[in-house]
Amino acid sequence: PKHQYAAEGNYTVTLSVKAGSGCYSDVYNKTVTVYPLPVSKFSSTLNTCVNTDYLVTDESTISSAKTVNKIVKWHWDFGDNTIIDKTDNTPFAHKYMAVGTYKITLTTTSLNGCVSDVFTKDVIVTNLPVADFTMPDVCLKDAFALFVNKTVDADGVNGLIKYEWNFGDASSTLSNPNTSTEKDGKHTYSSFGIYTVTLKITNVNGCVSSQSKSFTVNGAVEKADFSVQNSNNLCSNNTVVINNLSKAFFGKITKIDIYKDLDGAPEEFVTYNYPTNEDINLVYTAFGGNSNKDFRIKLKAFSGTDCYEEVIKQITLKPAPILEFTDIPSACQNDGSVIVNQARETSGIAGNGSYSGDGIDAEGNFNPKRVQPGVHVITYTFIAANGCTSVSKKEINVYQSPTADAGSTLY
C-alpha cells in the first residue's frame, strides 16, 4: 500500500496479517520519519542591464519543528545557459551579456535529500545607459564652466536618478567643490590647464555608466592677428584671402569673428569655430571705374566667453572691368567674316579688351568657315591698366549651309 503524509514527523506504521483459519499474527510496528520539503524562494529586482552585477538573495526555508533539517544545496539556473550549484545561501551576483527577458529558477535540496518545487522569477535585461556630456569653451576669466549632460537611458527615456560629477580640479575648495550631484556640471577653475572631467550616472535599475573627457581651460588671447594674401594687388572682382594668425597664451583659440567691411556693415560678421590658419575667403561686390576703394577688416579672436582680443587692418581694392556681353546672332557656315562686337566694358576703366575662341581673332572677326557646324564659345577678356582682369563668355551657333542641286543637264 501507499500513503502520503501531510506533515513532517515520526509516524508508527502497524502491520498484522490474518490467516485463512481466521487467526491474526502478532502486530509488527515500525517507525517512519517524514521529512519536510524545502521551500525555494529568492529576491531580486525585475530589471537590470547588460554586463552589470545582478544580485540574487536566497530566501528559501525548511521546517525543523519536529525533525532536524537544513538546506544543503542550491541549484540556480539563470536562463542564459548559466547553471550554478552552491552549498550556502550567501547572496551573489550574476552578469547577463545580452539584452532579453530571462527566467531564473531555484531548486533546493535538504540534508535528507528532499528536493523542493522549482521557484521561478523573470528578469528583464536592457542595454546600459551611455554617459555623455558637452564641454564648453572657457578661459580663465570666465565665471564658470558648464558641462551639459547629454546622457539618455537605453530605452531613449531620461530615466536617470543619480549624477556624480568629478571636475578633476586638485585646487578645488569647500565653496567651489570638485564634485557635484546636479544633472549638469558647473565648476570654476582657478588656473588654466588640462583637466579630466568624469560623469558617472545611475539609472532607475541601478545600472551604472561613466564617461571621462579631457578638458582644457584656455589662457587669455595672446594676440589677434591675420595676414592678407597678395595684399598689394587686390582686384574688386577677385576673392580676398586671409589667414588667421591669432593664438592663446595656453590652449587654443576657440573662435574668430570676421568683419569684412567694418565701416560699411559694422554689425555683419562671420564666425569660424576652432580656426586654424587655413584660407578664409572674403568676397566683395565688384566695382569698376578708375578709383581704388579702402575697406577695414576686423578680426576678433576668443579663447573663451570673456577672453578676446581684436585687430583691424585696412585693405585697398582696385577697380575691375565691368563687362556686358549680349547675345551673338547665329551664323551660317558659308557666310563671310562676321563681326562680333557684342562685348564691352561699361565702367570706363582704362584698358584693352580682346576676343578668343574657335574661328575668331582678337579684334572680333569671326570666320564660320573655319569651324564645324554647332555651338562655339566666344571669350571676351578685358585687362585693365591696373592689372585687373575680367572675362565673359557667350555662345555662337553656326549652321551648316545648304547645297544647291539643280539635277542633271538634259539634251
Tens of pLDDT, residues 245-301 = 999 999 999 999 999 999 999 999 999 999 998 999 999 999 999 999 999 999 999
Q: What residues contact 81, with CB distance under 8 A and at least 6 apart?
A: none
* Total length of the chain: 411
Using CA atoms, how far apart are residues 242 and 279, in angstroms rounded to an integer? 6
Q: What is the pLDDT of residue 408?
A: 62
Q: Class of the 133-218 domain?
A: mainly beta
Q: Which residues of the chain have pLDDT under 50?
A: none
Residue found by looking up cell 566667453 in the block: 305
Grid cell at residue 113: 535529500
On the 0-12 / 13-18 / 19+ scale of CB atoms within 10 A, 32 is exposed
Domains of the chain by residue range = 133-218, 221-318, 323-399
Grid cell at residue 370: 573655319
Is residue 81 helix, strand or coil? coil
Q: What is the pLDDT of residue 407?
A: 60
Residue found by looking up cell 549680349 in the block: 326
Q: What is the pLDDT of residue 3?
A: 87
Q: Are 227 and 245 in contact (CB under 8 A)?
A: yes
Domain 323-399 falls in which CATH fold? Immunoglobulin-like (2.60.40)
Q: What is the pLDDT of residue 198?
A: 99
CA atoms within 13 A on the CB side of 145: 30
Domain 221-318 falls in which CATH fold? Immunoglobulin-like (2.60.40)
Q: What is the pLDDT of residue 64?
A: 81
Concatenate the DSSP letters of all residues of 128-190 into one string. PPB--EE---EETTSS-EEEEE--B-TTSS--EEEEEEE---TT--SSS-SEE-SSSEEE--S
**Quick check: do 221-318 and 323-399 share a fold?**
yes
